[in-house]
Structure 1
C-alpha cells in the first residue's frame, strides 16, 4: 500500500483537558476516510494537529514518508497536505478566479513575481479556469466570493485546496451551514476528486458519510473507538452506543 499519512500515538492536552489520546491510524492513496464522533470527541483538534495549526504534546505525524511533526503549516502544504475549515476563510472581495490563480502562484513558488500582471501567465489562467469548470463555478469566475451562496463558497474552498495539487486533503465539515439544496452539488464535487488523492473528512451528516467514505474512524473522548468499513461501523455495538444510536 502507498501510505501517504500516518499518525503515531498523537496526544494533545489543554491544561487538565486531555483532548486527543494516543490517536494512531494511516491514510493510503485513494482512501476516503470519514472521521466521526460526538461533539467534543477531539475531531477538529486532531485535524489541527495534522495540519500544523496546533502542535502535538507527543506522538508523530508522517506525511509521504517524512516526519512532519515539527514542521510549520506552510511546510506541510508544500509536502502535499491541504485542508478546508469549518468556517469559510475566503477573501470576501476577491474575484473567484483570482483567488484560484493566487493559489496556483503559491503552489509554483511564484508569489515573488506578482509585480507582473497575472494576465501574463496564460497557462495558470487556463488551469484556474479548468478547476472552476470542474467544480461548476466557471459562471462565477468574475464574482466576488461574498456575493455567492454559502454552498458555492464551500465549493470554492475545495477548489482552492485542489489547486495546490495535494496528495492528502483534510475537509473539516464541508456541509456545515450549507442549505440542503446545495448538498448534492457538494457530494458530486467530492465524488469527482482525483482517485489517487487521500481524503479525510470530518462530517456530522451521516448520509454523506456513508455515501462517501470507504473507511470510517470513530473518535470518542479523544481516542479511536473503532476503525473499519462503513458496514463494520454500522454493526459495531460500541459505536451504536456511543454515537450512532439504534
Structure 2
C-alpha cells in the first residue's frame, strides 16, 4: 500500500516549552489514524506542523513521496493535504453553496481569472451541489452558514475539505461543540469518506476514536507514548494511566 504521508522526528519549541518531541508516524491510502492524548499533549501543534501552519524546528514531512517540509500551507493543499480546524472558520454571511463553489474555483486554479464569475462554470456548480447532497446539506444550499446549527457547520467544513480532492485529510476535533443530536450525522459522514483517503483525526470522544480508527497514536508531553491498533491501545497500561484512566 502506497505511503501518502511520512512524518519523521518533528520537534517544536515555543521559547523554553518543548511542545512536540521527535514525533514520527506514517499514513497510507485508506488509513484511519486517530491522534489522542491529554490536553496539552501537543496534538494540535503537531497537526499545525504537518499542515504548514507552523514551521518545525527539526524533522521532515513527505507528502506522496515528496519533501514538503519547507513548503507553505497553500502548496501542501495543492499537493493533496487538506484539514479542518478545531474552531469553525466558515464565512458566516455567505451561502453554503457559494462557499463550496469558491473552494472548487480555487482548486481548479481559476481564482486568478477575476473577470470571470463562478456562475460561468456550471460544472463546478453541479459538483458543489453533489457535495452538499452527499452530506445531506442540499436543502441549505442558499442558507448563510451563521443560520445553521453547529453540527451542520462542521459538515460544511468537511465538504469544503473534500472539495479540494485531498489525498490526506486532517480533522481537528470534528465533534467539538457538536450537540449529541447532530453527532449521528457527523459519524455517518466520517464513515462515508472515500475509502482511499488517508485520514488523521484528533478527537477526545473515545467512542468515536475506537469506532473510526484502525490505528491510534497516543501523545503525552509532546512525544509518542504508544502507536498501535485500537485493541493494543485499549490494553496498554501506559495509555490507561496517562489518558484513558485505570478501570475501577
* Paired position in structure 2 for 1:74: 74
2:146 aligned partner: 146
The answer to whether residue 32 in structure 2 is matched with residue 32 in structure 1 is yes
The size of the alignment, in residue pairs, is 246
- Other structure's SS at 2:112 match: helix
Q: Give secondary structure in 1 for the equivalent of 2:217.
A: strand
How big is the shift at 1:118? 1.6
1:120 Cα offset (Å): 1.4
Give the Å deviation of 1:114. Answer: 3.9
Give structure 1 stretches of 5+ with no counterpart: none
Pair 1:135-2:135 in alignment: yes
Alpha-carbon distance, 1:113 to partner: 2.3
| TM-score normalised over the length of structure 1 | 0.99
The CA RMSD over aligned residues, in Å, is 0.6
**In the TM superposition, what are the counterparts of 1:33-52 in structure 2 within 5 Å?**
33-52=33-52
Which deviations, in whole Å up to 9, do the C-alpha atoms of 1:68-95 show, x marking residues without a partner? Answer: 0000000000010000000000000100
- The equivalent residue for 2:121 is 121
Partner of 2:194: 194
1:181-209 C-alpha deviation (Å, 9 max, x unpaired): 00110000000000000000000000110
Match for residue 95 of structure 1? 95
2:168 is matched with 168
Aligned residue number for residue 219 of structure 1: 219
| TM-score w.r.t. length of structure 2 | 0.98
User: How many angstroms apart in 2 are the aligned matches of 1:74 and 1:187?
Assistant: 28
Q: Which runs of 5+ in 2 are unaligned?
A: none
